[in-house]
């Protein structure tokens, strides 16, 4: 996993001592050092991602700042209202370090003296701070510089000075270290297999604050407690990795979190491919829901857009039309933050074609008739399927999301507890007379399809009158009885479904007979043609039920009961409307 991340990061111009940062503002100075303007960067919601920002090591030592690119609080002493005194004092100390670094660098890079003089002058510093306040900059926003027509951050001379200063400073730190075994002895790198000096502490992974991470970042590899160490090794020497390999895997994961991630409940999924592909060729985007398909004109295509797109891509790969995708590989991680550490919940990798086939199968298994009975329901987004298990999305546990994700991507059976959750939500909404959730019904159907290794062919998207399970036909009968009652009596509030669904779905043998007897009273209130039509429907289902209804149903039987009820109800809606129209025309 780490080696794959390292390989991804190696293509990002990664180098120890530099980092890509989201920079929100650029301070513009004239060649003579006059302050000109504050330039906003990015699109208004996010700043501009700027590579090769100098990244200071050992920031925990206190009093240090990053070189050249820093926050508004450190550079311009911009604070929030009623800031604590100790925070102000600490920021002033860091600002002095920032200015001193510019003074040292300006000997080799004279253009940096303009920045140093601007910050060393209280009046110019106040002018910069006031301009930042007018633009409503935040103390935590990162700032870069423009002097005349050049950007010092990108200058090779500036980068060269930073490399040399950093190397010298790290050398001094190692010389003064009391633990030379962890900091200076060469060891076999965990990722490259080469003899390397292990990096004592690894840079942090940022962007996980929405899934339990810290705003300052979380470490992927860290040994900050004695109990985590062994063989007398300290810190990250317990998993020795050289500085270059560390920077590459950290930069790789940070880039994935920023640009190729999705928040799924309380977890985050990042994914990438061995060979870069166009966004429209990404099968995992089909799982999330395709925004770019909104421009498709065909309504029929939109209704099943994800399934059709996956099937077309799979056919193109297998026919050789998309040979460029055939030998590609995918990688995916499910991660979250926990107490300052990156928690890897799952790791997946495999052939690109297999991934596409699994996504196509996911939508095929979820396919279910729409509640109006006229067509298939729209392909559900992944989070709609997850949300169908709980009352509110915020109640969705992270392990449940991770399990469903793995189920979809690896074509695994759906765990029975998840089907039970969906079934419980189905019953609750049914009693409240809430609209049916297509995603929920599709998930219940997919559970039964995946119970058998080759798939259950009796579990179809539309009503299957020949289904072999009596429980399925018991659910069909309840749907017919409910429609019959409504046709005979109209809206009676708590009808057959609200009063009898729970008992009928668990002990149909004790309830179906009573409902069938009551149905005769409803039939007597209908016109001859409509009464005859309902009698035919009831007789047809009864004939398929066999001699008697099951006395009790287990959890799987209750799931089949729910599917029979839903699919029969969807079938009755257009059929019943057509029958009533014909009666009115006679």
Write out pLDDT tens, residues 445-473: 999 999 988 778 889 999 999 999 999 99
pTM for this structure? Answer: 0.80
Exposure on the CB side of residue 513, measured as CA atoms within 13 A: 8
Examine the pLDDT at 61 and tell me if it is beyond 70: no
**In this structure, what DSSP letter does residue 379 have?**
P
**In this structure, what DSSP letter does residue 434 have?**
P
Rounded to whole angstroms, the Cα distance separating 555 from 560 reads 9
Query: Beta strand 142-147 with 18-29: parallel, antiparallel or unpaired?
Result: parallel
Strand partners, 37: 28
* Sign, Cα dihedral of 281, 285, 287, 290: negative
With cut-offs at 50, 70 and 90, classify the pLDDT of residue 494: low
Mean pLDDT of 496-509: 89
CA distances 315 to 309, 353, 357, 387, Å, are 10, 10, 10, 31
Q: Which residue has the higher pLDDT, 176 or 286?
A: 286
Who contacts 462 (Cβ-Cβ below 8 Å, separation ≥6)? 369, 567, 570, 571
Length of the chain counted residue by residue: 586
Query: Beta strand 70-71 with 48-54: parallel, antiparallel or unpaired?
Result: unpaired
Cβ neighbours, 10 Å, residue 55: 20
| Contact predicate 191/3, CB 8 Å | yes
Tokens 């076999």 belong to which residue?
A: 188
Q: Which of 453, 475, 451 is nearest to 464 (CA)?
A: 475
The beta-carbon contacts of 42-46 under 8 Å, at least 24 apart in sequence, are 46/22
Tokens 């004695």 belong to which residue?
A: 226
Phi first, then psi, for residue 440 (nearest 5°) are -70, -45
Residue 173 is predicted with a pLDDT of 62
Question: Residue 416, Cα to own-chain centre: how many angstroms?
Answer: 23
Percent of the chain with pLDDT over 90: 52
Q: Please name the residue ranges forming H helices in 379-469.
A: 382-387, 398-410, 416-431, 438-449
With cut-offs at 50, 70 and 90, classify the pLDDT of residue 444: very high
Identify the burial level of 453 via C-beta atoms within 10 angstroms of its C-beta, where 0-12 means exposed, 13-18 middle and 19 or more buried. exposed
Residue 525 is predicted with a pLDDT of 85
Q: What is the pLDDT of residues 305-360, one digit of tens each?
A: 788 888 999 999 999 999 889 889 999 999 999 888 999 988 999 999 999 999 99
CA distances 238 to 16, 96, 137, 229, 247, Å, are 20, 36, 42, 6, 17
SS (H, E, C) 282-351: CHHHHHHCCCHHHHCCCHHHHHCHHHHHHHHHHHHHHHCCCHHHHCCEEEEEEEEEECCEEEEEEEEEEE
Residue 181 is predicted with a pLDDT of 45
Rounded to whole angstroms, the Cα distance separating 255 from 177 reads 33
Strand partners, 143: 25, 70
Rounded to whole angstroms, the Cα distance separating 159 from 167 reads 12
In angstroms, the first-to-last Cα distance of the chain is: 71
Examine the pLDDT at 586 and tell me if it is beyond 50: no
Kindly calculate the radius of gyration of the chain based on its CA atoms and give it in whole angstroms: 32
Residue 396 is predicted with a pLDDT of 86
Q: Which of these ranges, 119-128, 250-259, 575-584, has the smallest mean pLDDT?
A: 575-584
Examine the pLDDT at 510 and tell me if it is beyond 80: yes
Q: What is the pLDDT of residues 466-489, one digit of tens each?
A: 999 999 999 999 999 988 888 888
Q: Which residue has the higher pLDDT, 445 or 573?
A: 445
* Sign, Cα dihedral of 505, 491, 373, 411: negative
Residue 492 is predicted with a pLDDT of 65
Who contacts 501 (Cβ-Cβ below 8 Å, separation ≥6)? 427, 430, 431, 478, 565
Rounded to whole angstroms, the Cα distance separating 197 from 194 reads 10
Can you state the angle between helices 555-585 and 470-489, rounded to 10 degrees? 40
Q: Which of 78, 146, 142, 74 is nearest to 112 (CA)?
A: 146
| Token couple for 237 | 């020497």
Q: Which of these ranges, 144-158, 266-280, 517-531, has the smallest mean pLDDT?
A: 517-531
Cβ neighbours, 10 Å, residue 265: 23
**In this structure, what DSSP letter does residue 42 have?**
S
Tokens 């509640």 belong to which residue?
A: 371
Three-state SS for 39?
Answer: strand
Question: Residue 566, Cα to own-chain centre: how many angstroms?
Answer: 30
Phi first, then psi, for residue 422 (nearest 5°) are -60, -40
Who contacts 311 (Cβ-Cβ below 8 Å, separation ≥6)? 360
Locate the domains of the chain by residue range: 12-175, 180-259, 263-449, 470-585
CA angle 412, 418, 419 (to 5 degrees): 95
Q: What is the pLDDT of residues 541-558, one digit of tens each?
A: 888 887 778 999 999 999
Can you state the angle between helices 496-506 and 508-523, rounded to 10 degrees? 150
CA angle 450, 453, 457 (to 5 degrees): 65
Percent of the chain with pLDDT over 70: 92
Q: What is the pLDDT of residues 172-184, one digit of tens each?
A: 765 444 444 444 5
């Amino acid at each position: 996993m780490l080696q794959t991340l390292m390989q991804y990061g190696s293509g990002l111009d990664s180098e120890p001592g530099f980092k890509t940062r989201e920079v929100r503002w650029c301070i513009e100075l004239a060649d003579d050092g006059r302050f000109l303007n504050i330039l906003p960067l990015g699109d208004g919601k996010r700043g501009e991602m700027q590579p090769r920002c100098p990244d200071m090591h050992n920031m925990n030592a206190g009093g240090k700042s990053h070189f050249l690119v820093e926050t508004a609080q450190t550079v311009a002493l911009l604070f929030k209202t009623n800031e604590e005194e100790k925070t102000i004092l600490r920021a002033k100390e860091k600002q002095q370090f920032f200015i001193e670094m510019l003074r040292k660098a300006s000997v080799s890079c004279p253009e940096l003296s303009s920045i140093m003089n601007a910050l060393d002058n209280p009046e110019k510093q106040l002018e910069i701070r006031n301009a930042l306040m007018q633009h409503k900059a935040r103390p935590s926003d990162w700032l870069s510089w423009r002097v005349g027509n050049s950007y010092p951050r990108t200058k090779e001379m500036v980068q060269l000075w930073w490399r040399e200063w950093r190397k010298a400073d790290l050398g001094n730190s190692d010389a003064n270290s009391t633990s030379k075994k962890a900091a200076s002895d060469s060891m076999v790198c965990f990722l490259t297999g080469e003899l390397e000096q292990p990096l004592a502490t690894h840079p942090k992974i940022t962007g996980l604050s929405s899934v339990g991470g810290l705003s300052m970042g979380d470490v992927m590899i860290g040994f900050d407690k004695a109990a985590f160490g062994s063989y007398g090794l300290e810190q990250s020497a317990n998993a020795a990795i050289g500085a270059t390999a560390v920077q590459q895997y950290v930069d790789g994961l940070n880039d994935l979190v920023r640009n190729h991630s999705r928040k799924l409940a309380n977890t985050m999924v990042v994914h990438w491919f061995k060979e870069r592909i166009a966004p429209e060729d990404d099968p995992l985007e089909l799982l999330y829901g395709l925004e770019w398909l909104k421009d498709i004109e065909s309504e029929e295509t939109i209704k099943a857009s994800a399934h059709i797109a996956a099937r077309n891509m799979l056919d193109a790969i297998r026919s050789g039309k998309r040979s460029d995708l055939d030998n590609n590989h995918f990688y995916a991680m499910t991660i979250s933050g926990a107490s300052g550490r990156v928690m890897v919940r799952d790791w997946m990798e495999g052939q690109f074609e297999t991934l596409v086939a699994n996504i196509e199968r996911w939508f095929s298994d979820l396919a279910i008739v729409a509640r109006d009975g006229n067509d298939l329901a729209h392909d559900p987004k992944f989070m709609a399927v997850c949300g169908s298990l709980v009352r509110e999305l915020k109640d969705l546990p992270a392990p449940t999301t991770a399990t469903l994700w793995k189920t979809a991507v690896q074509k695994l059976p759906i765990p029975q507890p998840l089907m039970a959750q969906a079934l419980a939500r189905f019953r609750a909404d049914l009693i409240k007379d809430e609209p049916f959730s297509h995603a929920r019904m599709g998930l219940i159907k997919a559970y039964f399809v995946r119970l058998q290794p080759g798939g259950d062919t009796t579990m179809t998207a539309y009503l299957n009158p020949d289904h072999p399970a009596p429980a399925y036909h018991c659910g069909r009968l309840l749907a017919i009885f409910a429609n019959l009652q409504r046709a005979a009596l109209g809206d009676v509030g708590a009808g057959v479904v609200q009063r009898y669904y729970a008992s009928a779905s668990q002990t149909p043998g004790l309830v179906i007979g009573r409902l069938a007897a009551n149905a005769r009273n409803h039939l007597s209130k209908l016109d001859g043609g409509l009464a005859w039509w309902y009698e035919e429907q009831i007789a047809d289902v009864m004939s398929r039920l066999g001699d008697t209804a099951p006395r009790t149903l287990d959890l799987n039987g209750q799931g089949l009961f729910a599917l029979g009820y839903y699919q029969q109800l969807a079938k009755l809606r257009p059929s019943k409307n057509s029958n009533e129209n014909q009666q009115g025309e006679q």
